[in-house]
A and B are shown apart, each in its own frame.
Chain A
């Protein structure tokens, strides 16, 4: 019991530590990539090549005045940023970061996932669907019109695209035959990366994930030109920082899911990276491979943000309900027929 608790506490500390570091540096990467794409230099004053910028930003957030306007509903106003940040940190618990680690001195190998749930993907969807409360409550409790409009938009948008997101991954699990994310990765290690077998699934999942994380081209809840800042207009200091971290942590989880479901998770299609690790070195390499793939998708997020303009609200809804949902249903049907024919 005690070793089990200890191992898991260490795992949780490592995962949250790595995740928040990556989140901080994604913000820097966003500014750097944006600068390069616009032929500028970007932040380069703090530390070598601006690499300590996240530290400076963090300090600034801490020392800024926390403005609490008299017209806000104080309880929900304080609660909302926490609700926005926490789901992203919880859902990463079921995503396998590596195969297994053979730690010297321990009888059994340590699994590369915190909670190896049998309904892994459902757990992710269930917890991340709670994240919308953060945005909705922020908009409502701010008691002013732009945040409210932003939160109304976001609740409609996130609920609509949750449906697409859920339906788009069904063919993946039909092919693997399990909802357990570790088994999805092992299937891909043995067979083929599912992004190649299920391209339509992958495409719809990526687009829906952009909408779920409120990123451009679907960042209507915080559309600066129309809504000032959307749901976080009234927020300042650490409360704003929590929304910010929540958004980037959600991006991290979405990238981790894309890697896990469609790009082989910790595996590479050649030995010794296509079987669960037998030595500590390979185990660590698996975690490294996973993180590199995740960073690739984070770059893709940034790349898209600075390339594509924002959708109009009616376009967004039409895309979700009239195109993606019928397409995902068709995809499920076709996958079912093909899988049944192949098994005969």
Chain B
């Protein structure tokens, strides 16, 4: 086993363990912190695929910004109340059912032969340019439309969170 494989197994197992701890923990702050760790390990997996740019963005956006905001909100909650909360039978059964459905889907997908994308493998290593160039050349229109959609959503949130409109 070379160092690449060893790192792959380390990151994968650590990621799964963190994922489990996110949902198994009673304290929301601990859950959030394990989610941050999960994002960091996921960035490690991206690094192993030599997707350095995506790894950096993963840590920067998810671990560094989104989760800080999550934590910000969680800290304002009553932690003690959520620690006392009991497991609900319906939630547990439903969660396991959805999980099994995902596993089933994965088995179906993985049982089929995987073919590499035509001409994809050669240009998929490296950093910024390979990721960003298609956005501003080939996929310009969808990219801009998505940006506009996000803007609309943002304006919507601001409008909805205002209690009364003047």
Contact = CB atoms under 8 A, between A and B. Distances in A.
B64 A119 contact: no
A16 interface: no
Main SS of chain A's interface residues? helix
Given A122-B53, A133-B36, A179-B128, A155 B64 contact: no
B64 A129 contact: yes
A118 B53 CA distance: 9
Interface residues of A, number: 25
A126 B53 contact: no
Contacts, number: 68
Interface in A312-336: none
Interface of B: 29, 33, 36, 52-53, 56-57, 59-60, 63-65, 68-69, 71-72, 75, 126-128
A51 interface: no
Contact of B56 (A123, A136, A152, A162): A123
A162 B126 CA distance: 26
Contacts of A76: 29
Contact of A119 (B53, B68, B69, B71): B53
Contacts of A179: 127-128
Contacts of B53: 119, 122
A155 B72 contact: yes
Contacts of B128: 118-119, 179
A276 B94 CA distance: 63
A5 to B, nearest CB: 12
A207 to B, nearest CB: 20
B68 A132 contact: yes
Given A133-B33, A140-B71, A155-B72, 7 more contacts: A118-B127, A118-B128, A127-B59, A136-B72, A140-B29, A155-B71, A179-B128
A277 to B, nearest CB: 27
B52 A117 contact: yes
Given A129-B65, A159-B65, A162-B65, A122 B60 contact: yes
